[in-house]
Amino acid sequence: MDITPPGTKPLGSRRKVCVVIASRANYARIKTALAAIRNHPDLELQVVAGASLVLERFGGAVDVVEADGFKPDAVIRFIIEGENPVTMAKSTGLGLLELPSIFELLQPDIVVTVADRFETIATVIAASYMNIPVAHTQGGEVSGSIDESVRHAITKLAHLHFPATDLSARRILAMGEDPAYVFNVGCPSIDLVAQVDPLTPHDALTPLTAAGAGAPIDPDKPFVLMMQHPVTTEYGQSLDQINETLDAVAALGMQALVFWPNVDAGSEHIAKGIRTFREKGRAHGFHFFRNLPPHEFARLMAHCSVMVGNSSSALREGAFLGTPAVTVGTRQQNRERGANVLEVPNETATIYEAMRRQIAHGRYDRNDIFGDGTAGQKIAQILSLAAPPVQKALAYTAEDLLEADLRGAEFPTASA
Amino acid sequence: MDITPPGTKPLGSRRKVCVVIASRANYARIKTALAAIRNHPDLELQVVAGASLVLERFGGAVDVVEADGFKPDAVIRFIIEGENPVTMAKSTGLGLLELPSIFELLQPDIVVTVADRFETIATVIAASYMNIPVAHTQGGEVSGSIDESVRHAITKLAHLHFPATDLSARRILAMGEDPAYVFNVGCPSIDLVAQVDPLTPHDALTPLTAAGAGAPIDPDKPFVLMMQHPVTTEYGQSLDQINETLDAVAALGMQALVFWPNVDAGSEHIAKGIRTFREKGRAHGFHFFRNLPPHEFARLMAHCSVMVGNSSSALREGAFLGTPAVTVGTRQQNRERGANVLEVPNETATIYEAMRRQIAHGRYDRNDIFGDGTAGQKIAQILSLAAPPVQKALAYTAEDLLEADLRGAEFPTASA
Amino acid sequence: MDITPPGTKPLGSRRKVCVVIASRANYARIKTALAAIRNHPDLELQVVAGASLVLERFGGAVDVVEADGFKPDAVIRFIIEGENPVTMAKSTGLGLLELPSIFELLQPDIVVTVADRFETIATVIAASYMNIPVAHTQGGEVSGSIDESVRHAITKLAHLHFPATDLSARRILAMGEDPAYVFNVGCPSIDLVAQVDPLTPHDALTPLTAAGAGAPIDPDKPFVLMMQHPVTTEYGQSLDQINETLDAVAALGMQALVFWPNVDAGSEHIAKGIRTFREKGRAHGFHFFRNLPPHEFARLMAHCSVMVGNSSSALREGAFLGTPAVTVGTRQQNRERGANVLEVPNETATIYEAMRRQIAHGRYDRNDIFGDGTAGQKIAQILSLAAPPVQKALAYTAEDLLEADLRGAEFPTASA
Amino acid sequence: MDITPPGTKPLGSRRKVCVVIASRANYARIKTALAAIRNHPDLELQVVAGASLVLERFGGAVDVVEADGFKPDAVIRFIIEGENPVTMAKSTGLGLLELPSIFELLQPDIVVTVADRFETIATVIAASYMNIPVAHTQGGEVSGSIDESVRHAITKLAHLHFPATDLSARRILAMGEDPAYVFNVGCPSIDLVAQVDPLTPHDALTPLTAAGAGAPIDPDKPFVLMMQHPVTTEYGQSLDQINETLDAVAALGMQALVFWPNVDAGSEHIAKGIRTFREKGRAHGFHFFRNLPPHEFARLMAHCSVMVGNSSSALREGAFLGTPAVTVGTRQQNRERGANVLEVPNETATIYEAMRRQIAHGRYDRNDIFGDGTAGQKIAQILSLAAPPVQKALAYTAEDLLEADLRGAEFPTASA
């Protein structure tokens, strides 16, 4: 493979690659790439830790990152409290006030940003206005929530694309990105899962009994794994939505490991639902976590009887691990998935029935749709070679554009 | 024409349409739409004025807006001084801290944003995180500078698209936007030009003799019209670039009407070039403006012997008016244009030669590529009817995506 | 009393008084003034709610404010997550970006700000740069923490002073403020306490059994009231400090009503201490609250066996109510207090002993040092009459300054 | 002299002293201290350059700082365009978002901040919330404008005081600061003036003929030196005020060297007045500067026939140099001054008359009221030894406070 585009050359013998990590989810999806970048002879790794990753309220996930040997070169705090649509927009703004100072200091040759959240778009805007090329992972996927729009906007600003699936890569190309800079490498989160020794269920659960809060964990009993985030485009409905799921899980009567939500508009409503559920004394057999290292979380996915909620992990790592999963509501709608996922609306009875079916089915076969465990290595290798121009240009040909109107029904004009 | 999409209905009997105007250029390109929205029985106009529009240093263009009867509902100031890549990114951030508060206050049903600058992306991010649909004008065009990336990112966040040309509309469709919400209405700046009485050259120039600074204007002599902005992706070269153009114009020996640049990374370098040129006493016959009302600017374009610089006006309004134009450098590269534009590199001799050729050629025929003068009316009408869903989704079919790889040479994979 | 200063006249027949409330503590200390301003014929009340007052994580105290009939004219969110010295400073900055927009919108004739926190200094800076006179309550008091410096800096920026004690008024005068604008009105928090029917212990506790979290409350048993905030100037020690107090309270074996801390650098450490205490199963008989309406809190102070921690309530309302109190650490050091307070260091054994002594002593006599229950009325009346000039000037005479050096030992000069 | 307070010890063998410089005026008033800190064996100098110092629009004064060998460790940009009361408050806020990140990075042992502007209060708030002691120069002076309030607020937040006059030191003490940390060192701007070879008038003016803009300078003719800033508390009157002064100077018929104003609310109005004056062709004999190195400015003060405007230089350096000065309006009211200053209202005729009187009088005798030229050395020495506690406390005795009410007429109470 010759990934160096014609007419360009590598940016330098040792490129500074600055990876911005903003949440525990980000970290799990970039960790193996961090290691590969750090170990690559032609690359120098810079880590910027920010947003919920550095907040104790979200489990102080940055400690896990440091413990893995990735000491941040800079820590930035830009989450404005409130977790509603206004503060999400404003936190993006605060990120955009902070990140340029950091980039000015660190002088990276390329910036790497992950997925589709407000920290991600703040990163890509900051870097691209500063004429620093940006590499983006997880572009081209489809989902619900504002993440859907933001993800594709990031693609249009980014210079180098690391989609995680074949279909995602094709969507990025369809959007007009230059094929020379679009690489289907798979998702680094799959690398992580592929490397983890799943242990036995007993051994996977045992170390967790000392962590988290709530009912004691019995490592010898089956369990439900639950992680539900707010859907920002349905702001105001999050409390009802979490209640439907909590009721369904409670009805199962099985022990449940429940994670607190991401920072997003509506998170406080989710948290309120969980707190009320506990305070009403309904959380028998429920154990609560703010954060776990990715490898411990992977073990839970490898052994749970069913995973429920709306985390994309159920679709990504779940495909590789064959985790029986019930995905609730619209947050993952249209995202690629394997056979392991049942998607249901936010209704207790339907969620309950779907969980019962998945528990009865048991584990699914491995599916490599999100990668085969080599994403991190590929990302580092491409970062050491590719030299995308800062000035982007749409890759459409005249022919592409003549065809464009064939896709819709009739081409709308206001004079029609 | 049935522009109401299936399954949706108008948002209310009198929709609040909030237009964010951030520069004199914005204003000229949305003015006729403002008037049409204000006059539409089903719409209520809200105006937010911000960025350089409200700064006296940039000619206090907001006074022109108010004088036209569009009193701002809110004025916001978010430009951080410095005009370099860092402050452009940070100003975007500051805009994102200000705009959500304004939208929370004004509670618009839809937000309208213009073109491709940092104020524009701040507007579309603020509104879309707040679940307010956004209409965007001038999407789908191509150009150089960071504006190119930003424009397409805005398209991926916006819900309703008002491109100005057929080709732009096709690019928006190719990027996966829903054909039901893409309308080639033409550019409102053409409406303005179409409405303006160009007067005689003498009568067009006479009222300007009292404005601006520098050498006196002789309304009976031919003149060059010059407007050159920095190219952000070539930050650091702006001083050289303006000097090449100033030298070429000075060599012509014709009287010149010169405009100060936009607020952008590099503007201060352009301004320094102009100041130095004046202070060296080389500005014989040069007259300088910070701002003019759009109709007065249109008259200048209708009568100049040649227009030089890198303003997109030369391509847009210039096509309709048949203005002989010399476009310098990369800022407009790849943008659609008619026969009236010669594009040349930043070199005095080449610029000079091209200006001589255009002066010799004289005026060109009218070209409707950027619209026929009805854009404002069409925009208001569509805003009163269209109801795009807040949750966006890519409009690609499976077939589109299978074709995606046919566009590039070979589909790159890291395993190849 | 003629409080209109010579040479000035009232600002208008109906002055707009804008009160900025930023926390539950703020609210309790201004509530009766809000009511008096609202009811005053010459005043128009504007309420701005911000900071922790509007966060659900801090008990959504704004709902209490609204339920009392004070609907905010504006809600602003400017707390940056992190609760460390860096985010406190930055949150001040974010407040300073938000407040001017609000003041520009509301156009108040005078702004009222409470006490000594980062929201308070943001308010007084914003208003005074905008040439809006500022009235300040609780100036002139002394304490530990950064609040000490910030409080006096606010005094030097404020135009009208409402200290709560005679000694505080004297300190404000000593700092050079104009005697014409310094009024010892007492603290509105005392008004509130004076108005509250304390009920019986049983009736005061009963409605609380449904609120909060933790062990059930037995309304017929005595209880400890605990409220401990971080000391910002001892950042890093908060976790140890809360543990000392928790251990002392646990040793008492009495039921305890515990409040979560304010938003401040170190709050997260306090919260962590409390969470860990609970998760270790040590919180027998402990009940936890995020927020209570001021009148319910006053009842708790009227009936608790002892109040422990470092809240200034123990000193202020406690004096009036005769609450036996143990004040821990440096946070209240040097603040005026009555006989009801024992001040001890952060050591379990000492705290424990002091609580035992206070429980044995029982309730103290009422002390009016912080006011007699008429502060709110006085504040409203003065706000309707006083017209301080925007341009401040130190009130020192030449004689004052000649005496200045007599205070210290020898006047230091670098040449000595 | 034993300036180490009892019970404390020096902070370390080599203290990091971080000086924040935010304008050309700041620089002139701290330059000799910078040199002395840099040369002191126990100190390590850190320089943060920000605000107008780093803007090309204000003459790129940072280049002068670098040329003097003080390369900034960090450059921050936090001036929001607009120059009105709203943007001054907001710029303070933006400074407070930027400075904590810088202090976190540089980890200074002590921060030094100069004078009384919005950058100064942003600096002292940022540092003091972060528990970093702050040294403040020029405290205790009195003047008009918002600077008056801000200066004293800064004193209440600062830990170590370097007033420039005896009277200023006494005011700081009167405000309750600890005498152990108040040092009348004089003003470093006087050091600078004392070091400068004033040259002959001809030799002082000659190098300036190539700088600035406007009419050519004749180095053999007498000249007026003019520098007028806006008065923020009289925002809206700046244009009228500058016009009065420009008219008076024009009436003199003498060549005039005029400086553009500081960044402040109203600066744009001053600039507009100057621009209009030029564009009307009235600026015969007027030469305009954006910035000069301090030593060149000192030479102008040493040789001008009269200095006019409202710069505090006329009072400070002017006293030492004996510059005949006319100070206009309220900006310097109440500030200490020598015999060289005539203070007049903003009226052309009165300004003109006063300038005539001063020109007739000629130069005054040297007055050491603002120092004898050793301030920088003293500041560095004290910074190397003093160890003020982070926790401040008012230094008043009970006796001081009992006397407090003797100052005003009658002690006001709301019950009177």
Q: Which residues of B touch D90 (CB under 8 A)?
A: 77
Q: Does A85 touch chain C (CB under 8 A)?
A: no
Neighbour count for residue D131 (Cβ, 10 Å):
16
**Yes or no, beta carbons of D79 and B77 under 8 Å apart:** no
Q: Please, which pLDDT band fits residue C408 given cuts at 50, 70 and 90? A: very low
Least confident of A306-315, D7-16, D284-293: D7-16
- Going from the C-alpha of D85 to that of each of C125, D231, D264, D271, D388, the distances in angstroms are 11, 11, 8, 16, 34
Q: A: neighbours with 3+ CB pairs under 8 Å?
A: B, C, D
Query: What is the share, in percent, of chain D residues with pLDDT greater than 90?
Result: 74
- H helices present in C175-216, as ranges: 188-195, 201-205
Q: Does B93 touch chain C (CB under 8 A)?
A: no
pLDDT at A158 over 70: yes
Interval C44-57: pLDDT, tens: 999 999 878 888 77
DSSP assignment string, B303-372: H-SEEEES-GGGTHHHHHHT--EEEESSTTTT----TTEEEE-S-HHHHHHHHHHHHHH-PPPP--TT--
Instruction: Please indicate whether residue C332 or residue D12 has the higher confidence score (pLDDT).
Output: C332
Give just the sign of the alpha carbon dihedral C159, C160, C163, C166: positive
pLDDT at C389 over 50: yes
Per DSSP bridges, beta strands D223-227 and C110-114 are unpaired
pLDDT on residue A52: 81
pLDDT on residue A402: 79
- Going from the C-alpha of C227 to that of each of B105, C63, C302, C313, C328, the distances in angstroms are 37, 21, 15, 9, 10
Please provide the average confidence, as pLDDT, over all residues in chain C: 90
pLDDT on residue C415: 40
Q: D: neighbours with 3+ CB pairs under 8 Å?
A: A, B, C
**Minimal-distance CA residue of chain C relative to A280:** C213
Which of D77, D81, D275 has the CB atom closest to B86's CB atom?
A: D77
**Yes or no, beta carbons of D412 and C180 under 8 Å apart:** yes
Of the candidates C291, C288, C355, the residue with the CA atom closest to the CA atom of residue C323: C355
Q: Does C89 touch chain B (CB under 8 A)?
A: no
DSSP assignment string, D122-174: HHHHHHHHTT--EEEESTT---SHHHHHHHHHHHHH-SEEE-SSHHHHHHHHH
- Cβ atoms of residues C225 and C301 within 8 Å: yes
Which of D1, D126, D153 has the CB atom closest to C89's CB atom?
A: D126
Stretch D315-331: mean pLDDT, rounded?
A: 96
Q: Please, which pLDDT band fits residue D415 given cuts at 50, 70 and 90? A: very low
pLDDT at A405 over 90: no
Interval A279-294: pLDDT, tens: 888 989 999 998 888 8
- Cβ atoms of residues D96 and D119 within 8 Å: no
pLDDT at D406 over 60: no
Number of Cβ pairs closer than 8 Å across B and C? 11
Stretch B2-28: mean pLDDT, rounded?
A: 70
pLDDT at D7 over 50: no
pLDDT on residue D109: 97
Which of A80, A86, A279 has the CB atom closest to C80's CB atom?
A: A80
Q: Which residues of A touch B142 (CB under 8 A)?
A: 393-394
**Sheet of D341-344: strands edge to edge?**
D213-214, D286-289, D255-259, D223-227, D306-309, D325-328, D341-344
> What are C335's two structure tokens?
């603040």
In angstroms, the separation between the Cα of residue B230 and the nearest Cα of chain D is 16
Stretch A17-29: mean pLDDT, rounded?
A: 91
Within 3-42 of A, beta carbons closer than 8 Å to B belong to: 3
**Yes or no, beta carbons of C411 and D169 under 8 Å apart:** yes
pLDDT on residue A400: 81
Q: Please, which pLDDT band fits residue C324 given cuts at 50, 70 and 90? A: very high
Tell me the C-alpha distance between D218 and D208, whole Å.
10
Best interface-test mutation with D: which of B81, B268, B290 has the largest number of D CBs within 10 A? B81
> What are B18's two structure tokens?
């909030």
pLDDT at D2 over 50: no
Q: Which residues of C touch A278 (CB under 8 A)?
A: 213
Q: Does A98 touch chain D (CB under 8 A)?
A: yes
Q: C: neighbours with 3+ CB pairs under 8 Å?
A: A, B, D
**Helix (H) or strand (E) segment spanning residue C20:** strand C15-21
Of the candidates B146, B135, B145, the residue with the CA atom closest to the CA atom of residue B172: B135
Which residues lie across from B111 on neighbouring strands? B18, B134
In angstroms, the separation between the Cα of residue A5 and the nearest Cα of chain B is 11
Q: Please, which pLDDT band fits residue A111 given cuts at 50, 70 and 90? A: very high
**Yes or no, beta carbons of B97 and C94 under 8 Å apart:** yes
Length of chain B: 416
Taking each helix axis as running N to C, give the angle between helix D238-252 and helix D348-361, from 0 to 180 degrees, rounded to the nearest 10. 40
**Yes or no, beta carbons of A397 and B407 under 8 Å apart:** yes
Residues 6+ apart with CB under 8 A from D360: none
pLDDT on residue C125: 98
- The three state secondary structure string of D310-360 is CCHHHCHHHHHHCCCEEEECCCCCCCCCCCCEEEECCCHHHHHHHHHHHHH
Instruction: Please indicate whether residue A63 or residue B121 has the higher confidence score (pLDDT).
Output: B121
- Cβ atoms of residues B299 and B204 within 8 Å: yes
- Going from the C-alpha of C28 to that of each of B108, C66, C109, C287, the distances in angstroms are 35, 13, 24, 22
- Going from the C-alpha of D402 to that of each of C140, C168, D398, the distances in angstroms are 14, 11, 6
Q: Helix (H, G, I), strand (E, B), or coil: what is residue A106?
A: helix
pLDDT at D362 over 50: yes
Number of Cβ pairs closer than 8 Å across A and B? 252
Stretch A134-153: mean pLDDT, rounded?
A: 95
Q: Does A94 touch chain D (CB under 8 A)?
A: yes
In angstroms, the separation between the Cα of residue C230 and the nearest Cα of chain B is 29
Tell me the C-alpha distance between C166 and C171, whole Å.
9
Q: Which residues of A touch C56 (CB under 8 A)?
A: 268, 272
pLDDT at C12 over 60: no
**Helix (H) or strand (E) segment spanning residue C399:** helix C398-407
pLDDT at D186 over 60: yes
Of the candidates A371, A260, A354, A261, the residue with the CA atom closest to the CA atom of residue A316: A371
Q: Which residues of B touch D57 (CB under 8 A)?
A: 81, 268
Q: Which residues of B touch A332 (CB under 8 A)?
A: none
In angstroms, the separation between the Cα of residue C333 and the nearest Cα of chain B is 39
pLDDT on residue B405: 58
**Minimal-distance CA residue of chain C relative to D168:** C401
Q: Which residues of C touch B48 (CB under 8 A)?
A: none
Q: Please, which pLDDT band fits residue B3 given cuts at 50, 70 and 90? A: very low
φ, ψ (nearest 5 deg) of residue A409: -70, -90
Q: Please, which pLDDT band fits residue C3 given cuts at 50, 70 and 90? A: very low
Q: Does D78 touch chain B (CB under 8 A)?
A: yes
Q: Which residues of D touch A105 (CB under 8 A)?
A: 105
Q: Which residues of B touch C97 (CB under 8 A)?
A: 94, 97-98
Best interface-test mutation with A: which of D76, D91, D101 has the largest number of A CBs within 10 A? D101
Tell me the C-alpha distance between C31 and C29, whole Å.
6
Least confident of A96-100, B69-73, B331-335, C201-205: B331-335
Stretch C64-77: mean pLDDT, rounded?
A: 92
**Minimal-distance CA residue of chain B relative to D55:** B82
Stretch A140-159: mean pLDDT, rounded?
A: 95
Q: Which residues of C touch A81 (CB under 8 A)?
A: 55, 57, 77, 79-81
Stretch B393-409: mean pLDDT, rounded?
A: 72
pLDDT at D408 over 50: no
Stretch A306-319: mean pLDDT, rounded?
A: 96
Tell me the C-alpha distance between A274 and A271, whole Å.
5
pLDDT at C247 over 80: yes
Tell me the C-alpha distance between B289 and B270, whole Å.
14
Q: Please, which pLDDT band fits residue B7 given cuts at 50, 70 and 90? A: very low
Which of A77, A79, A82 has the CB atom closest to C55's CB atom?
A: A82
Q: Which residues of B touch C96 (CB under 8 A)?
A: none
Please provide the average confidence, as pLDDT, over all residues in chain B: 90
- Cβ atoms of residues A177 and A151 within 8 Å: no
pLDDT on residue D58: 67
pLDDT at D64 over 90: no
Q: Does C382 touch chain D (CB under 8 A)?
A: yes
Tell me the C-alpha distance between D192 and D186, whole Å.
12
Best interface-test mutation with A: which of B96, B172, B177, B392 has the largest number of A CBs within 10 A? B96
Tell me the C-alpha distance between A251 and A245, whole Å.
10
pLDDT at C258 over 60: yes
Q: Please, which pLDDT band fits residue D42 given cuts at 50, 70 and 90? A: very high
Which of A400-404, B301-305, C193-197 has the highest average model confidence (pLDDT)? B301-305
Q: Which residues of B touch C101 (CB under 8 A)?
A: 76, 98, 101
pLDDT at A31 over 50: yes
Tell me the C-alpha distance between B308 and B351, whole Å.
8
Which residues lie across from D110 on neighbouring strands? D17
Tell me the C-alpha distance between D217 and D208, whole Å.
8
Q: Please, which pLDDT band fits residue D273 given cuts at 50, 70 and 90? A: very high
Q: Please, which pLDDT band fits residue B415 given cuts at 50, 70 and 90? A: very low
- Going from the C-alpha of D198 to that of each of D201, D210, D300, the distances in angstroms are 8, 19, 8
Best interface-test mutation with A: which of C81, C90, C101, C274 has the largest number of A CBs within 10 A? C81
Q: Please, which pLDDT band fits residue C220 given cuts at 50, 70 and 90? A: very high
Best interface-test mutation with C: which of B101, B107, B129 has the largest number of C CBs within 10 A? B101
Tell me the C-alpha distance between C114 and C117, whole Å.
8
pLDDT on residue B414: 41
> What are B305's two structure tokens?
């012997």
Interval D237-249: pLDDT, tens: 999 999 999 999 9
**Yes or no, beta carbons of D179 and C413 under 8 Å apart:** no
The pTM for the full model equals: 0.87
**Yes or no, beta carbons of D125 and C89 under 8 Å apart:** yes
Q: Which residues of A touch C94 (CB under 8 A)?
A: 80, 94
Of the candidates C344, C350, C361, C318, the residue with the CA atom closest to the CA atom of residue C251: C350
Which of A76, A101, A105 has the CB atom closest to D98's CB atom?
A: A101
